[in-house]
Amino acid sequence: MKQKIILATMMVLLGGAAMVQADLAEFNAINAAARAARERGDNAAYLANARKLAGITPGHPSLQIALARGMALDGDAAGAVTQLNRIADLGLSFRASDDAAFQKLKNDPGFVAAAERLAANGKGLGRGKGIIRLGLTGGSEGVAWSEPMKSFLMGASGSIFSYKLDGKEPAKAIAKAGGTQILGIRPDRASHSFLVCVNEEDGSNSAVVRHNESSGKIEATYKLPMPNALCNDIALLKNGSFAVTDSNNGVFHLVDGKLEPLALTTPVYQPNGIASDPDKNRLYVAHAGGVVVQDLATGKSRELAVSGTVIGGIDGMVWHKGSLIGVQNPRGAANRLLRMTPDADGQSAKVDVLLVGTDFPGEATTVAVAGDEAFVIGANKQADGEREEPILIRAPL
């Protein structure tokens, strides 16, 4: 879902550097310095700040790519090629051969080979079961499956829409959203309601809004308390509570009818997708560097360890039968739909790639699960090349 884009980079597996903790203000300051250096063409300063960020938030694919770009622009051809091969080793894909940063390397055999590996990683797996056109005229980012309503819920043009999987009619508006920008949606079966993250484009009115399941009427509004808030995604917790990501300020949870900060012992940067495992009372928060696991009983948190790939930059995320299903859509890199299955202790996870690259006809943001299938909401360019048509991309789990 929508969030600030980091215009810098991170390193993963680069010399085994240890992760460094920093507060959000420090992270944002370094990020701003890296962005400014890049905009004025100061590649040395850009790389210096990028390496600082690398120690704070390892694991974001587009930032891995940014590091390769920075090396190439700074004249380190060998370093850039080495980094491109590391990116390929992680199973990631982007169009390196078309990227302006690497044009001076286009005749370098090492670069050509690395670019071919990266392109091959983006070839689809062919597991998709087609796309579903929703009949929406406006863009949509959030999607959720409501079992009681037997419908998908999604937001567009300031309203909440429902869509039945039988496809007999297009999506229809069922409620005004309480805000113009609609991101995460989460049905709350126990209270016969659904929760919606709303924001205004000017940064005001960032809140979670509760709608009655039957009538669509607004039952409650829970304002995010921090300035410059961005309500992004929602996870249900025990006892009727919920947690929500504010991508600019952290994670919050409902306490006595108000949203209060949820203290994590592991920092998160630009948190986005969020999901809970109610059986083990754990909360999973996707952020720029990966996924943080919060043990709600002890209040302790940790990064979810994975091997062979990176899981930073995940957008929408849901919990399904012991696994996290998440959409990884970092800027500049190929989309991936991932299944991350944590071990019994929630320390590490096995990662399976379900869809990648050309399996997606266009952009992808969030995911819902109905039965044993995943449905990724995204957008496909229409014939005029300007407007985007919201679609669901269907895949077995």
Phi–psi pair at 308, nearest 5 degrees: 85, -10
Question: Is 4 contained in some domain?
Answer: no
Whether residues 217 and 270 fall in one domain = yes
**How confident is the model at residue 202, as a pLDDT?**
79
Please count the other Cβ atoms lying within 10 Å of the Cβ belonging to residue 197: 29
**How confident is the model at residue 11, as a pLDDT?**
31
Instruction: Look at residue 4 and tell me whether its pLDDT is greater than 60.
Output: no
Question: What is the biggest distance separating any 2 CA atoms in the chain, rounded to whole angstroms?
Answer: 63
Q: What CATH number is attached to the domain comprising 38? A: 1.25.40.10
User: Average pLDDT over the chain, rounded to whole?
Assistant: 90
Angstrom distance (rounded) from CA 116 to CA 112: 6
> What is the tally of structural domains in the chain?
2
Alpha helices in 133-222 (DSSP H): none
Task: Identify whether the C-beta of residue 13 lies closer than 8 Å to the C-beta of residue 64.
Answer: no
Question: Is 6 contained in some domain?
Answer: no
14 pLDDT band (50/70/90 cuts)?
very low
Question: Is 8 contained in some domain?
Answer: no
Question: Is 305 contained in some domain?
Answer: yes
pLDDT, tens only, 22-49:
777 787 888 889 889 989 989 888 888 8
Question: Is 15 contained in some domain?
Answer: no
Whether residues 90 and 156 fall in one domain = no
Question: Is 16 contained in some domain?
Answer: no
Question: Is 166 contained in some domain?
Answer: yes
Q: What is the DSSP letter of 305?
A: B
Q: Report the pLDDT averaged over residues 274-286.
A: 97
Q: What is the DSSP letter of 278?
A: T
Contacts of residue 301, defined as CB under 8 A and 6 or more positions apart, other chains included, come to 264, 265, 266, 292, 293, 294, 295
User: Would you call 175 helix, strand, or coil by DSSP?
Assistant: strand
Phi–psi pair at 296, nearest 5 degrees: -70, -25
Angstrom distance (rounded) from CA 392 to CA 124: 17
Q: Which residue reads 């949606």 in tokens?
A: 185
Q: Which of 121, 152, 175 is the last residue of a domain?
A: 121
Q: What CATH number is attached to the domain comprising 228? A: 2.120.10.30
Phi–psi pair at 290, nearest 5 degrees: 160, -135
Taken in order 279, 282, 285, 291, is the CA torsion positive or negative?
negative
63 pLDDT band (50/70/90 cuts)?
confident
Task: Identify whether the C-beta of residue 56 lies closer than 8 Å to the C-beta of residue 1.
Answer: no
- Token pair in block for residue 186: 């989460």
Q: What is the DSSP letter of 190?
A: G
Q: Report the pLDDT averaged over residues 243-248.
A: 96
Task: Identify whether the C-beta of residue 353 lies closer than 8 Å to the C-beta of residue 377.
Answer: no
Angstrom distance (rounded) from CA 272 to CA 268: 10
Whether residues 329 and 190 fall in one domain = yes
Instruction: Look at residue 385 and tell me whether its pLDDT is greater than 70.
Output: no
More confident of the two residues 322 and 38: 322
Instruction: Look at residue 18 and tell me whether its pLDDT is greater than 70.
Output: no
Whether residues 254 and 112 fall in one domain = no
More confident of the two residues 63 and 111: 111
pLDDT, tens only, 178-208:
989 999 999 999 999 999 999 988 777 899 9
Whether residues 84 and 219 fall in one domain = no
Angstrom distance (rounded) from CA 30 to CA 211: 40
Taken in order 269, 270, 272, 276, is the CA torsion positive or negative?
positive
Q: Report the pLDDT averaged over residues 139-153.
A: 92
Question: Is 303 contained in some domain?
Answer: yes
Task: Identify whether the C-beta of residue 199 lies closer than 8 Å to the C-beta of residue 233.
Answer: no
Phi–psi pair at 184, nearest 5 degrees: -65, 145
Angstrom distance (rounded) from CA 66 to CA 10: 8
Whether residues 234 and 259 fall in one domain = yes
Angstrom distance (rounded) from CA 390 to CA 382: 10
- Token pair in block for residue 321: 């039968």
Whether residues 116 and 135 fall in one domain = no
Please count the other Cβ atoms lying within 10 Å of the Cβ belonging to residue 131: 18
pLDDT, tens only, 73-117:
989 999 999 999 999 999 999 999 999 999 999 999 999 999 999
Q: Which of 72, 94, 121 is the last residue of a domain?
A: 121
Whether residues 112 and 136 fall in one domain = no
Whether residues 228 and 319 fall in one domain = yes
Domain membership of residue 90 as a residue range: 24-121
